[in-house]
Amino acid sequence: MSKTSLSIQKDTQKTIIYLGGHWDFRTDIEHLNQLKTALKNSHLPLGIDFSDVTHIDFVFSCFLIDIFRNYSLNVEFINISDKIQRILGTIRSYVPKENAEYKQTKKFGNIFEKIGRWVESFFQKTLDFFNFMGITLYFFGQTLIHPSRIRIAPLVYHISESGFKALPVSILTAFIVGAAITLQGAMQLQSMGVPLVSIEITAKLSLREMGPFILALVIAGRSASSFTAQIGAMQITEEMDAMKTMSFTPFEFLVIPRVLALMIIMPLLVFLADIFALFGGMLAIKYQLGIGFAQYIERFYETVSWTHFWIGMIKAPFFGGAIAMVGCFRGFEVKGNTESVGIKTTVSVVNALFWIIFINAIFSVIWTKLGI
């Protein structure tokens, strides 16, 4: 087979591309890209010299005609044989020309195609996540049946990293949000002539919603991204493949410790967030209504039952489990390079926030139906 060659000659009036050798389906991509770049980037009249071409096939001819059509090129063929002329002419005659109506239809077709692809991708990702959740629950059940399989060291490490180290920002956020919401509620209820009601309303809101929900949002932003980045880095550095080669199960070593860690630590964090949210509310009530701490606590014990506290605590492990599973799932999706880590980290945070809101809404419906 003759060696493929390509050279370009430019002058002030014309650009001529000299082809040589065999141009067919076996032509390497480098030569094809070089030819495509030369054709589409030329601002002068174009000519292609076929004097040294020994053979072209149907695949290359389609490639060439497709470039002419896509970039609306008018190319002169120089020293072209009758055989090559017939091949290119036949293919050109069978390629339909795009008219305005066809382009408009194609434009709308592309829109619907993109929507369809997005729906299909969303559906497939949802199925993949539920499959991942099922595998996680299976290994979670195995660890409950066989507690010796729990990796204590990673579990304690993730409790510290994802729980205790997130405590300062978590309780500060709960304190600020608790104070702000209570202040707004107290102002509105004071204008209605029932200032004392603000104590029980804001306290119930802090225990049922603000404490666990605000805390979960903070942990989602911190821990979901962390889990995705950690596991994603292991994917890129092929540590995951090494684990599989040594017959270690990634779910047992990477996913379960993280899920268990957040499910264990979240109730404790919610308890502390509740305390600081209520404390922020006490300060806001003191500032806006002039009600002292003793009167606040007395009213609190009279009107707020333990049920509201346990409602928030019950949601905490579910929030923790969802955050950990989303973070790990997106970490396993990382492929290729470090750019993928950044993309999946962002996606994991958004997904974790969605699942927190969704779970919170489900519990709200359940408590409403039960009349709690």
Give residue-wise pLDDT tens across range 184-198: 888 887 777 777 787
Hey, which residues does 288 pair with through a beta bridge? none
Band (307; pLDDT cuts 50, 70, 90): confident
Tell me the CA end-to-end span of the chain in Å, nearest whole number.
Answer: 82
What average pLDDT does range 33-37 have in this prediction? 85
What average pLDDT does range 322-332 have in this prediction? 91
Question: For 344-353, what is each residue's pLDDT tens digit?
Answer: 898 899 999 9
- What confidence score (pLDDT) does residue 141 get? 86
Type of residue found at 236: I
- What confidence score (pLDDT) does residue 359 get? 92
What average pLDDT does range 174-203 have in this prediction? 83
HSE-up (13 A, CA, CB side) for residue 361: 6
Rounded Cα–Cα distance for residues 112 and 235 (Å): 34
Nearest to 67 by CA among 77, 78, 75: 75
Kindly report the average pLDDT of the chain as a whole number.
84
| Strand spans (E) along the chain | 5-10, 15-23, 46-56, 75-78
Rounded Cα–Cα distance for residues 82 and 80 (Å): 7
Domain ranges of the chain: 5-94, 150-370
Band (284; pLDDT cuts 50, 70, 90): confident
User: What is the Cα gyration radius of the chain?
Assistant: 33
Band (369; pLDDT cuts 50, 70, 90): confident
What average pLDDT does range 143-165 have in this prediction? 85
Looking up tokens 């996606």, which residue turns up? 347
Looking up tokens 């994917």, which residue turns up? 235
- What confidence score (pLDDT) does residue 109 get? 58
Residue 25 DSSP symbol: T
Question: Under DSSP, is residue 49 helix (H, G, I), strand (E, B) or coil?
Answer: strand
- What confidence score (pLDDT) does residue 323 get? 92
What average pLDDT does range 58-73 have in this prediction? 83
**Residue 104 predicted with pLDDT over 80:** no
- What confidence score (pLDDT) does residue 358 get? 92
HSE-up (13 A, CA, CB side) for residue 105: 5
Structure tokens at 351: 């997904």
What average pLDDT does range 358-370 have in this prediction? 89
Say how many C-beta atoms besides its own lie within 10 A of residue 239's C-beta: 14
Q: What are the Cα distances from residue 173, in Å, to 168, 182, 199, 277, 329?
A: 9, 14, 20, 9, 27
Rounded Cα–Cα distance for residues 181 and 169 (Å): 18
Nearest to 254 by CA among 235, 274, 277, 268: 235
Band (372; pLDDT cuts 50, 70, 90): confident
- What confidence score (pLDDT) does residue 89 get? 83
Rounded Cα–Cα distance for residues 68 and 87 (Å): 15
Q: Under a CB-based contact definition with an 8 Å cutoff, are residues 342 and 241 in contact?
A: no
- Worst-scoring range by mean pLDDT, 25-34, 96-105, 326-335? 96-105
Q: Under a CB-based contact definition with an 8 Å cutoff, are residues 334 and 273 in contact?
A: no
Angle between helices 197-205 and 293-303 (to 10 degrees): 70
- What confidence score (pLDDT) does residue 357 get? 92
Please state, for a pLDDT cut of 70, what percent of the chain lies above it: 95
What average pLDDT does range 60-87 have in this prediction? 84
**What pTM was estimated for this model as a whole?**
0.66
Map 295-333 to HEC letters.
Answer: HHHHHHHHHCCHHHHHHHHHHHHHHHHHHHHHHHHHHHC
CATH number of 5-94: 3.30.360.10, 3.90.550.10, 3.40.50.300, 3.30.750.24?
A: 3.30.750.24
Sign of the C-alpha dihedral computed for residues 17, 23, 25 and 29 taken in this order: negative
Please state, for a pLDDT cut of 90, what percent of the chain lies above it: 10
Annotate 120-175 with DSSP letters as a single string. HHHHHHHHHHHHHHHHHHHHHHHHHH-GGGS-HHHHHHHHHHHTGGGHHHHHHHHH
- What confidence score (pLDDT) does residue 163 get? 82
- What confidence score (pLDDT) does residue 28 get? 85
Band (105; pLDDT cuts 50, 70, 90): low
